[in-house]
Structure 1
Amino acid sequence: MTAANWSIRPIIADDDAAIAAIIRAVMPEFGAVGDGFAINDPEVDWMSRAYSAPRSAYFVVEADGVVLGGGGVAPLEGGPGDTCELRKMYFLPGARGLGAGAAMMARCLDAARGFGFARCYLETLGGMDAAMKLYERSGFRRIDAPLGATGHGGCNAFYLRDL
């Protein structure tokens, strides 16, 4: 993949298996296995349906018709109504370092604004250094404790951004 031949679009049902495989391949790369991680969320196998809910969107990055990653937003479970969560943003190694992450972040934050959210929250794992740099470059600030009730007790880094 090169910076010139990828694009971002909304997820469709035909993408579900590819995104599930990407999530299940990338998370162990960073030690995110076992209870308390998104890899175990039931929605991983049916992302297009999960993100068809109100105020939710999921996008995929693809090159030459092959899905190489994705990311989305949805209301923060158990959190304030004006706060969304950046969710399940993962890319295969070949899609990293080409600007796709920054473009995906912009697309997700634009969608969140369009849904009327005032803030965006995310959880991640120490060791995902490139992702944390992207979050900080995108205006997220680290906070001391989790918000809401995401069920991802394995995460240990929390970020918030005003929209």
Structure 2
Amino acid sequence: MNCCIHSGGGRSCMHARKGGILQLVARSLQRRHLSIAMMIAFFFLSIHQVAANVQEQPITISLKNAPLETVFAEIRKQTGINFIYTKDLLQRTSKVSIDVHNESLQRVMELIMKDQPLSYTLLDEYVVIKKKQSLPASWPVPEKEVHGRVTNQKGEAVMGATVGV
């Protein structure tokens, strides 16, 4: 007896025998899984490409004493990139004056965030704005001179020894 399975890729026929139908079904499923995997990979690659294109678009901005929210809106209008932040974060910021022509998003962000109490992270088609992490205060270490002699177990001087403190 012949058994045929029709799929999008064509027709597969096989004589019915022990394990034959199972092998035919398994091969058909493998083809479908491969097709699905390829579609998913294409989807994610195209999203990544769109994000890369968004970040590479040249930005031209000329603003004086503008709030950060206004600058973000202008960047969003030119590039389509989205900003993620809370309004509370922007309350403690200073106004920005910027005049750039055909600059990258990275460069524009460096310029507008330079003297702000905020940091940013570029994630695909998003810019995440957050509070700058303050560095812990370190205690000054007093300098001391160390004098001495490096010896082996017999009390003999060791030539070329290095000591680290």
The alignment's TM-score, normalised by the length of structure 1, stands at: 0.24
Larger radius of gyration: 2
Per the normalisation by structure 2, the TM-score is 0.24
